[in-house]
Amino acid sequence: MSVIPTRHYALRTPHLIGRTTETDRIQRAVKDWLRSYAFYFYGPGGIGKTRLLEEIGDRIKQVSFSTRLVGWSGIIDLYLSGMHSNSGIEKAICEAIDPDREYFAHYWDMRSNFEHQHREHMDAHQREMLRTQLAAAFIGAFNTLAGKTRVVLTFDTVELIQYENDLIQTICQVQEEAITVKTWLLETLPQLNNTVIIFAGRPKSMKLDADLRAAFADKSDWCYAAYELAGFDEAETAYYFQEIIAMAIRQKRMRHTIEVEPAWLYAYTGGRPIRLALLIDLAVYSGGDFEDLFSRRLSDHRSPDERWHEIAQRVIARIQELETGYPVVDTLPYLALTRQGLDAKLLHYLEPGWSLDECQQRLDGMKRFTFVKSRPDWPRIYLHDEMYDVLDDPTMGCMALPDRIRW
| Site of interaction with ligand ADP (CB under 6 A) | 12-13, 16-19, 45-51, 273-274, 277, 370, 385
Judged by CB, which is closer to Mg ion: 19, or 49?
A: 49
Output the 3-class SS for the chain.
Answer: CCCCCCCCCCCCCCCCCCCHHHHHHHHHHHHCCCCEEEEEEECCCCCCHHHHHHHHHHHHHCCCCCCCCEEEEEEEECCCHHHCCHHHHHHHHHHHHCCCCCCCHHHHHHHHHHHHHCCCCCCHHHHHHHHHHHHHHHHHHHHHHHCCCEEEEEEECHHHCCCCCCHHHHHHCCCCCCCCHHHHHHHHHHHCCCEEEEEEECHHHHHHHHHHHHHHHCCCCEEEEEEECCCCCHHHHHHHHHHHHHHHHHCCCCCCCCCCCHHHHHHHHCCCHHHHHHHHHHHHHHCCCCHHHCCCCCCCCCCHHHHHHHHHHHHHHHHHCCECCCEHHHHHHHHHHCCCCECHHHHHHHCCCCCHHHHHHHHHHHCCCCCEECCCCCCCEEECHHHHHHHCCHHHCHHHHHHCCCC
346 contacts which partner out of Mg ion, ligand ADP, none, CB within 5 to 8 A by kind? none
Question: Distance from first CA to last CA of the chain, Å, rounded?
Answer: 34
Rounded to whole angstroms, the Cα distance separating 266 from 275 reads 10
Span near Mg ion by CB under 5 A; candidates 47-55, 99-107, 252-260, 324-332: 47-55
How near is the Cβ of 200 to Mg ion at its closest, in Å?
A: 7
Region near Mg ion per CB under 5 A, out of 9-17, 50-58, 214-222, 255-263:
50-58
Work out what residue 18 binds among Mg ion, ligand ADP, none; the CB cut-off runs from 5 to 8 Å by kind. ligand ADP
Which residue, 26 or 94, has its beta carbon nearer to ligand ADP? 26
Residue 50 lies near Mg ion (rule: CB under 5 A): yes
Listed ranges 49-57, 113-121, 306-314, 359-367: which one lies at the site for Mg ion (CB under 5 A): 49-57
Q: How far is the CB of 50 from ligand ADP (least distance, A)?
A: 3
Instruction: Work out what residue 274 binds among Mg ion, ligand ADP, none; the CB cut-off runs from 5 to 8 Å by kind.
Output: ligand ADP
User: Which among ligand ADP, Mg ion, none contacts residue 201 (Cβ within 5 to 8 A by kind)?
Assistant: none
| Nearer of residues 12 and 35 to ligand ADP, judged by Cβ | 12
Closest residue to bound ligand ADP by CB:
48
How far apart are alpha carbons 224 and 209 in whole angstroms? Answer: 10
Binding to Mg ion, residues 73-92 (CB under 5 A): none
As measured in angstroms, the least distance from the Cβ of 47 to ligand ADP is: 4
Task: Name which of 49 and 111 has its Cβ closer to Mg ion.
Answer: 49
Q: Which of 30, 36, 40, 51 is nearest to 158 (CA)?
A: 40
228: region left, alpha or beta (phi > 0 left; psi from -120 to 50 alpha): beta
Q: Which does 16 bind (CB under 5 to 8 A by kind): ligand ADP, Mg ion, none?
A: ligand ADP
In terms of CB distance, is 13 or 338 closer to ligand ADP?
13
Closest distance of CB 116 from ligand ADP, Å: 39
Nearer to Mg ion, 7 or 49 (CB): 49
79 or 108: CB nearest Mg ion: 79
Name which of 90 and 385 has its Cβ closer to ligand ADP: 385
Q: Which residues pair with 378 in a beta bridge?
A: none
302 binds, among ligand ADP, Mg ion, none (CB under 5 to 8 A by kind): none
- Tell me the site size for Mg ion, rule CB under 5 A: 2
270 touches which of Mg ion, ligand ADP, none (CB within 5 to 8 A by kind)? none
* 195 near Mg ion, rule: CB under 5 A: no
From the CB of 353, what's the least distance to ligand ADP, in Å? 32
Residue nearest to Mg ion (CB): 50
Amino acid at 380: R
Q: Which of ligand ADP, Mg ion, none binds 273 (CB below 5-8 Å, type-dependent)?
A: ligand ADP
Tell me which residues touch Mg ion (CB under 5 A): 49-50
